[in-house]
Amino acid sequence: MEQFRKQTAIIAVLVVLIACSAWYAKKFNDQSKGVSNLKDKTTQTSKSNSNYFVEARSGRDNQLSIHKQELENIINNKNSTKEAIAQAQAKLILLADWADKQARVEQLAKQRGFEDAVCFINENGVELCVKSAEDLTSEQAAQLMDDVVRTTSISPTKIIIKNQK
């Protein structure tokens, strides 16, 4: 029964993390609203675009930190079962692997000439957002897709590439 409670707690924490991730994604993907004139709109959009990558990376790193701390608490809790500890350790290793791959994908995108990039990897796939003044060409998208596939070994059908101007 105690193991069931721990598993329920772990699942609840994961659901909360997914909800927070969805909230962050919605918050950072919404366009600026309520700007009265074109000059203000351009200025606000420019500021939000330059902050998008910083805020997205910061939000991602904060969520990772929280998740790691929760997993470490499970691992270090003397009341945790061996199975719960093993699951937490495996998830911790997976999170570290994802963080490394995210950084490598972002670096590869910057090497391709994009001003900035932010990458999110989870069990559902990969989302890569690059900063470019121009729309992505099909060649650029294919190159980015190839970089992501080679780095993460995730199927191209589970990869989303977006451009943030």
| Rounded CA separation 60/20 (Å) | 10
Query: Which fold would CATH assign to domain 2-164?
Result: Helix Hairpins (1.10.287)
Query: pLDDT tens digits for 52-111?
Result: 999 999 999 999 999 999 999 999 999 989 999 999 999 999 999 999 999 999 999 999
pTM of the shown model? 0.68
> Given this model, what pLDDT does residue 41 score?
41
- Interaxial angle between packed helices 38-76 and 2-29, expressed in degrees from 0 to 180 and rounded to the nearest 10: 170
User: Is pLDDT at 6 greater than 80 in this prediction?
Assistant: no
| Rounded CA separation 75/77 (Å) | 6
Tokens found for residue 74: 């499970």
> Using 50, 70 and 90 to split pLDDT, how confident is the model at 16?
low
The 3-class secondary structure across 76-139, one letter per residue, is HCCCCCHHHHHHHHHHHHHHHHHHHHHHHHHHHHHHCCCCEEEEEEECCEEEEEEECCCCCCHH
- Domain boundaries defined on the chain: 2-164
Tokens found for residue 49: 């675009």
Query: pLDDT tens digits for 30-67?
Result: 543 333 333 344 334 444 556 899 999 999 999 999 99
The 3-class secondary structure across 31-65, one letter per residue, is CCCCCCCHHHHHHHHHHHHHHHHHHHHHHHHHHHH
Query: pLDDT tens digits for 121-141?
Result: 999 999 999 999 899 999 999
> Given this model, what pLDDT does residue 125 score?
95
